[in-house]
Amino acid sequence: MNDIAAGTRGIRVANLVILAATTCVWLGLDQLTKQWAISALSDGPNHIVGPFSFRLVYNSGSAFGINALSGIWLGLLAFAVVVILFFYSRNLPSRTMTILLGLVTGGALGNLADRLFRAGDGFLSGRVVDFIDLSRWPVFNLADTGIVVGTIGAAIIGSRVFANDTDEIADADKDTTDKDATDKDTTGTADMVGTAKAEAGDVKTSQP
């Protein structure tokens, strides 16, 4: 029992370490690339190839420039997401999902840092730095990428885990049903044998 508890604690600690490490790495990359964008793209966009270019944009809305919520609500939402994911990470079913959620938390903190520390008119009113331009898609950054990729990847893995758990439950129910049926057949057969023996004994007793 102690070994099982120790193993469970070890998994939880490992998940937290992986989540924290992934979060810090992605947050660092996000902030470094944003600082590069501010320095390198202030004079104008930099076309790379085809529809892909770097263009500096300051965004006061949510991911990909969508103005659905005010900065303060977006900041508070990002903070809540990070807290929930760190709490949930203790029981994640795989290391891959832990890394994916680390991308989400790193991205959320990256944009939250912009709202906190980049010039604004009040608390959490700073503007997020976006610089990746695909022409027909709103300009975004590495934080947005981590949020989207991590969320989609975690959803795919989570659906597979749920499907596997459902199959295991169905198999367990089938095994239980089969066992009950076997036990019932065995009991019925034993009763029939007992009845036959009893009848045979009664016949012998009634003979002169």
Report residue 119: phi and psi, to 5°. -50, 130
144 among known catalytic residues: yes
SS3 66: coil
Active-site residue identified among 130, 133, 171, 178: 130
Give the integer Cα–Cα distance in Å for 67 and 50: 27
CA distances from 70 to 31, 65, 82, 123 (A): 22, 12, 19, 11
Cα atoms in the Cβ-side hemisphere of radius 13 Å centred on 167: 6
Q: How many angstroms separate the CA atoms of 99 and 145, rounded?
A: 14
Q: Which helix (H) or strand (E) holds 46?
A: strand 46-49
Helix (H) or strand (E) holding 88: helix 71-88
The catalytically annotated residue of 30, 144, 165, 173 is 144
What is the C-alpha separation between 89 and 95, in angstroms, rounded? 10
Catalytic (active-site) positions: 130, 144
